[in-house]
């Protein structure tokens, strides 16, 4: 499910150490600067998630909003969101996304859920969402 319209928006747990590291990874490898970001705890994320019957209180799930505010808008979650992100990054990352797509979705989500359940214990948790560097701050919709 590659993005075709406006920049894909990654909705992530802003206080999660792993999630923040993943955002930094995407910023480093997003050579086309396509992705935008917003924390699940933000005022931006809540109405988007409610449109899809999801709750912003579910911090165990990462989402990617594709074609935001278009008639073709859609929401990818969990392992599907990770695969979309890897596809968009291109290069060797799209090869990894293809390999992950070969796995049954139940197995993909099982792996995602294991990581999600243990991420605070392994990667830590911030007291509040860390602010991104000034040079990329414009890509964070909850800071605009």
pLDDT (0 to 100) of residue 29: 93
Query: Given this model, what pLDDT does residue 92 score?
Result: 83
pTM: 0.87
- Per-residue pLDDT at 51: 93
Query: Tokens at residue 115, please?
Result: 């990581």
Other Cβ atoms closer than 10 A to 95: 12
Taking only the tens place, the pLDDT of each residue in 70-125 is 999 999 999 999 999 999 998 888 877 878 888 888 898 898 889 988 888 888 88
Highest mean pLDDT among 30-34, 53-57, 132-136 belongs to: 30-34
User: How does pLDDT run across 2-52, given as a tens digit for each residue?
Assistant: 445 689 999 999 889 889 999 999 999 999 999 999 999 999 999 999 999
Higher per-residue confidence, 67 vs 133: 67
Which stretches within the chain are classed as H helix?
Answer: 17-29, 45-51, 78-89, 91-102, 105-123
Secondary structure class of 114 (helix, strand, coil)? helix
Buried b / exposed e along 105-135 (16+ C-beta atoms within 10 A): eeebbeebeeebeebeeeeeeeeebeebeee
Q: How confident is the model at residue 1 (pLDDT cuts 50, 70, 90)?
A: very low
What pLDDT is recorded for position 99?
Answer: 81
């Amino acid at each position: 499910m590659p993005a075709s319209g406006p920049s894909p928006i990654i909705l992530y747990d802003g206080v999660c150490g792993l999630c923040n590291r993943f955002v930094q990874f995407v910023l480093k490898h997003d050579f086309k600067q396509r992705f935008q970001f917003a924390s699940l705890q933000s005022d931006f994320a809540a109405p988007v998630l409610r449109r899809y019957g999801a709750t912003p209180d579910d911090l165990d799930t990462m989402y990617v909003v594709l074609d935001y505010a278009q008639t073709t808008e859609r929401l990818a979650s969990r392992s599907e969101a990770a695969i979309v992100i890897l596809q968009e990054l291109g290069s060797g990352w799209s090869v990894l996304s293809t390999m992950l797509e070969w796995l049954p979705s139940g197995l993909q989500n099982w792996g995602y859920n294991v990581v999600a359940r243990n991420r605070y214990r392994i990667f830590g948790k911030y007291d509040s969402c860390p602010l991104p560097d000034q040079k990329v701050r414009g890509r964070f919709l909850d800071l605009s």
